[in-house]
Structure 1
């Protein structure tokens, strides 16, 4: 008999942009919690959202980055722990494209959840030296490959 695994669904986003010196990824630093390290935008998906919608919403909510375009879903990471309501959490990683020209800025989250009021330092860093913590860079190289070949590819119109 199959067991149904209940879990908390999260979405995380690699927000990528191209610069003359090469591709960069957007990272966030929690100004009030430096122990959180260097992260990428992400958080809980809402019941009605697709993974891509959640990735865009979380990136916008946590950073205020402008002009996001969805690239693709890259993969999932399963975590087990007592801190998760059902004992498990699945984080689905995606990449997004932007042409936002800001290199670094401060952002305060405005949302309807417990993140409201959190202060973030947002920085674009070269992909090769982004310094992302917590194994959140697990799909970064795969994201870069899709970004560099120009995904998403528009389907021909009939």
Structure 2
């Protein structure tokens, strides 16, 4: 599916795989492998930003995938995120959508919310928020209505 379809239909917290369709090069070709890995991977959808038009520039809608955190002893040193424009030439697949009862920990930044954490239930979300305080964070549960709307609109099979 296209990047535009992901932007339109994937809910925050979805696991998204992206690919350019080329085969993975052998490990001995380090530079080629590194370039391939930058265009092929998996991440959790954490943000969708609408298109922007300013007097001096305009940008298309985009979305951000969180691919992982690196650190030690509970301290995150690097958080890997990729932002893709809806005009991207890559192919995307929704691998997994948030299940009913899961709880999103969100924070409003600018025009759109950002997913900080996806918890299995409200208690886990509250525990995570207690140990990771954010000033503008709030909880939003994945409801049966949201999942049902995805199924009725044909997005569950994507």
State the TM-score bracket (shorter-chain normalisation). under 0.3
TM-score normalised to the size of structure 2?
0.26
Q: Which has the higher helix share?
A: 2
TM-score by length of structure 1 reads: 0.26
Bigger relative contact order, structure 1 or 2 (CA pairs below 8 A, ≥6 apart): 1
Larger radius of gyration: 2
